[in-house]
Amino acid sequence: MNTYMYNILIVEDEKEIAAAIEVYLKNQNYNVFKAYNGIEALEIFERQEIHLILMDIMMPGMDGIQDTVKIRESSNVPVIFLSAKSEDMDKILGLNIGADDYITKPFNPLELLARVNSCLRRYTSYSNASAVPDHVIKIGGIELNDASKEVFADGEPIKITPLEYKILHLLMRNPNRVFSIEEIYEKSPFRNEPAYNPDTVTVHIRRIREKIEINPKEPKYLKVVWGIGYKFEK
């Protein structure tokens, strides 16, 4: 991905944090604009062509929630929320009002860059997308090609075993449906292998997560429903 093409707006009232993020992004050759409050962010957004916004939630005056609502009136530009809060309600509120992703401060710079790259790839892919063939299942940044038996995460090929492919195919063909471990075991080739038992499903789910998720500990796609099973969230 040619990062020279992309302009990223950092909206963060703590200047030290904004400066640190700017360094990370410029090291990846992104063009960076900075705003220290919501009003300043809207002014820059109106003057410049911005491809992604890193938006702090808690700011004086116009906060990140209000800013994003205003931006969403006229643009679908990707927005990643930055916040010191980690409660689920903050994440839910942010995503419901139009954010594309969420990262909690203090964050790992590599994770921040991974989420920025992922959002831009998805946005670019969506903007340029043609009709998806019948043999391709695409959910967010994950693409499964059932003709070639290949899996891609944000455009990058993923090495995956045949068993992992079968599990992922089952879950992606039925997005948001919860499958019990027993169902996954029965609907996959596990039962044909005498060395396997249903507990092995959990191990393979963990390995799939490690391959397709930016942060496997906080999965975006392959989620556990406690006491029931697993689902691929759309």
Residues 115, 74, single domain; the answer is: yes
CB atoms within 10 A of CB 2: 6
pLDDT of residue 94: 78
| pTM score | 0.58
Confidence of residue 193 (pLDDT cuts 50, 70, 90): low
> Do 183 and 201 have their domain in common?
yes
Same domain, 46 and 83: yes
Domain stops at, among 98, 127, 156: 127
**Domain region containing 111:** 3-127
CATH of the domain at 61: 3.40.50.2300
Shared domain for 110 and 223, answered yes or no, is no
With vertex at residue 94, the alpha carbon angle to CA 224 and CA 61, rounded to the nearest 5 degrees, is 155
The number of C-alpha atoms within 13 Å of 28 and in the hemisphere containing its C-beta is: 20
| Distance, CA of 220 to CA of 232 (rounded, Å) | 9
Residue ending a domain, among 127, 150, 170, is 127
Q: Does residue 128 or residue 6 have the better pLDDT?
A: 6
Domain count of the fold of the chain: 2
CATH number at residue 180: 1.10.10.10
Rounded average pLDDT over 141-160 = 91
Q: Is the per-residue pLDDT at 135 higher than 50? A: yes
How do residues 71-127 score in pLDDT, each as one tens digit? Answer: 988 888 999 998 876 656 767 787 888 889 989 888 899 999 999 998 888 777 665
pLDDT at 194 over 80: no
Query: What ranges make up the beta strands (E) of the chain?
Result: 7-11, 31-35, 52-56, 79-83, 101-104, 136-139, 142-145, 150-153, 156-158, 222-225, 229-232
Residues 6+ apart with CB under 8 A from 20: 109
